[in-house]
Amino acid sequence: MTPRDLSSGDSTGGTSRRALLRALTVAPVVIPTIASPWGEALAALHRDHDDEPVSIGRSKAGRSLSRSRYHTAESFFTSIEAGFPFHRKEMLYHAGIVAQLALSAHLLDVGFPDAWCARHIGLRVAKSLAYANATGLAHDCPDMARLATILTPYWKWNRPRWDEPEPDDGGFTVHQVRPLLRALLDRVHDVTGHPRPKGWRRHRREART
């Protein structure tokens, strides 16, 4: 069985991810009223963050936007993977973009409206990861969770500072960040089933040379 077979059929409390997503394509639902394996986790996140309930419904447009976000995430990652000589702040800013685009791809794929995500999640990578894991991403990596916290919100790493102290970078180096982002991108690829971008294999070979 391939990794994609495993991810596309991930079980969530007795309901396969594929079956649940198929149902959401047919009938969009408001999470507080849905009897699904995701309902309780999402309701808890709504309470914790004081977010309005989200109406999840899959569509071709959402799926297409999801694929575009994933491909854009892979594109932004190429400079990090190739070892571009970023300053630490620049590297973390780019890492935040990659992570948020990848997580957004998952959320859009399962049916989150893009407008809801922009309003309630914004550039908060840790919050995006929490919502993604609550809806089947299942990327339970403690180091990625810690990096997501450091990157939240990721715009802070691109902000000029005069007399203000620098944000806590958690001691992350590019050599630590690179495999964490690669694993996240691979997980999103596996779970969504999106194809790799054109030229992906060539870019990866070049990054290793």
- Walk along the chain (209 residues) and give the pLDDT tens digit of each residue: 333 443 444 544 444 565 556 555 544 544 443 445 788 889 999 999 999 988 888 899 999 999 999 999 999 999 898 877 778 899 999 999 999 999 999 999 999 999 999 999 999 999 999 999 999 999 999 999 999 999 999 999 997 777 788 889 999 999 999 999 999 999 999 999 999 988 777 766 666 66
For residues 51 and 97, the answer to whether their CB atoms sit within 8 Å is: no
| pTM score, whole prediction | 0.81
Of the candidates 52, 62, 11, 57, the one whose C-alpha atom is nearest the C-alpha of residue 34 is 57
Contact residues for 177 (Cβ-Cβ < 8 A; gap 6+): 80, 91, 92, 95, 147
| Two structure tokens written together for 197 | 């971008």
Task: Spell out the long-range contacts of 9-15 with Cβ–Cβ below 8 A and sequence spacing 24 or more.
Answer: 10/136, 10/138, 10/191, 12/37, 12/38, 12/136, 13/37
Task: Spell out the long-range contacts of 5-8 with Cβ–Cβ below 8 A and sequence spacing 24 or more.
Answer: 6/190, 7/187, 7/190, 7/191, 7/193, 8/191, 8/193
